[in-house]
Amino acid sequence: MAGNYYKVACTDCENEQIIFGKASSVVNCAVCGTTLATPTGGNAEFHGEVVETVERRDSTELEA
């Protein structure tokens, strides 16, 4: 599965949450319920501040 994960900060409560960049459903903040991302048919539209891109793990790291 190709895609990146992003750490997004909620604009209301500043909670940071990791979200898949191609989210296929609405993603709400786990703390206050504010919408953090909405699907667009491709890359999700983020409604919070993108703090960082989270590196994906290689399959070789999982074979330990």
- Going by the annotation, the residues of the binding site for Zn(2+) are 10, 13, 29, 32
- Written as six digits, the tokens of 47 are 């409604």
**Residue whose C-alpha is closest to residue 39's, from 20, 25, 21, 18:** 25
Task: Show binding-site residues.
Answer: 10, 13, 29, 32
Cβ atoms of 23 and 40 closer than 8 Å = no
